[in-house]
Copies of this chain bind each other. A is one copy, B any other.
Amino acid sequence: MNDLKLEDIAKLAGVSRSTVSRVVNASPNVGAATRKRVEKIIQTTGYHPNAAARSLASQRTNMIGLVIPRTTSAFFTDPYFPHLTQGVAFACNNHHMTLSLFLVGNQEDENEITPRLLRRGMLDGILLQSGNSDDMLFRRLISSHVPLLVLGRPFEEKSVNYIDVDNILAAKNATSHLIRLGYQRIGMITGAIRSTTSIDRQAGFKQAMAEAGKTIDPSLIVEGDFSENSGYVAMKKLLPFRPDAIFAQSDVMAIGAMRAVQEAGLQIPKDVAFVGFDDLPVASTLPIKLTTVHQPITHFGIKAVDLLIDMIEKGTKPAKRMILDAELIIRDSCGGNSNNRPIVQGVEFEGSALKAPA
């Protein structure tokens, strides 16, 4: 019904294409009367500018890509990603940007997707979920011209822009809480062992233990992959070693582990206490409400988009990081529900510093 182009509107309004273009793009250099007339015609005709033509001429597509690499196991079975996607999508709406989603399922997908990502005239910028290792895709992306922001600390930080939560500090707080509660045999179920996320959370765990002067029993650390089932399996392995508390690196793994504990006829938190990570909505509706680290996931997505758009508009600057805080939420599964502490605001800054001031 409307195959009209700028020129048609111009003709109808008795002005030039340039003027219509100015009206459409809200340029200030248009007379009030002219603007009104043109706007009315656009209204009545239902004209919409052609996106491709506009992109070609302006070198801007107003699209950003969200790339979830294949090394990220189980991206959409873990509620983390939907929440993240939601935050990103909403932020895009606010910026009048369109979000393209690239789910890299396997090597074939990667080969197919990479050129699309690298094409000019396609994406103004890219949000890349940090994967289990800095793979080929990662490298090709950082060495390309496209403004790139990595979600989560990458392996190779050198001169790449990224945003992350303070996993080390958060994991340390979670572990310290368990220590403070007097647990003696504290175990950990890790996430995918090769992800920086998991590495950082392990580091936090170890720091807390070290500072409390506690030695770590290696048999109390078992590898998971962030999935519910891996938590279940990990707990089965852990049970014979009689842990009295578990720090699970994701809520979903904590849920799987709790399932294993209950199947073994043990009580939570009496026999085994739990702290998770993420604070998914489900954490507070479980039969035994989960003590966990709150990640501001949606907010994280929003911040990421804001940062990326900044990069796009001001040109990519040298390494810029943003580290958000993640606060422990105390509920029932840790056996010490009392003082819920308020959620601390994330702190924003640039430059070489790695962590936000507490």
Binding site for B on A (CB under 8 A): 1-3, 48-56, 61, 63, 76-77, 79, 81-83, 85-86, 89-90, 93, 96, 98-103, 105, 108-109, 112-113, 115-116, 118-122, 143-145, 228-229, 232, 256, 259, 262-263, 281-282, 285, 287
Contact = CB atoms under 8 A, between A and B. Distances in A.
B50 A52 contact: no
Nearest to A113: B93
Given A51-B120, A263-B287, 4 more contacts: A51-B122, A55-B55, A79-B79, A101-B101
Contact of A120 (B50, B98, B263, B281): B50
Contacts of A263: 287
Given A98-B116, A116-B98, A285-B228, A61 B52 contact: yes
13 contacts: A50-B121, A76-B86, A77-B79, A89-B102, A90-B103, A90-B105, A90-B109, A98-B100, A98-B102, A99-B101, A99-B102, A228-B282, A259-B287
A223 to B, nearest CB: 19
Contacts of A119: 48-51
A108 B94 CA distance: 9
A44 to B, nearest CB: 15
Copies in the complex: 2
Nearest to A122: B51
Contacts of A61: 51-52
A56 B144 CA distance: 24
Contacts of A77: 79, 82, 281
A248 to B, nearest CB: 16
A101 B89 contact: yes
Nearest to A81: B82
B105 A93 contact: yes
A101 to B, nearest CB: 5
B56 A120 contact: no
A103 B86 contact: yes
Contacts of A102: 89, 98-99
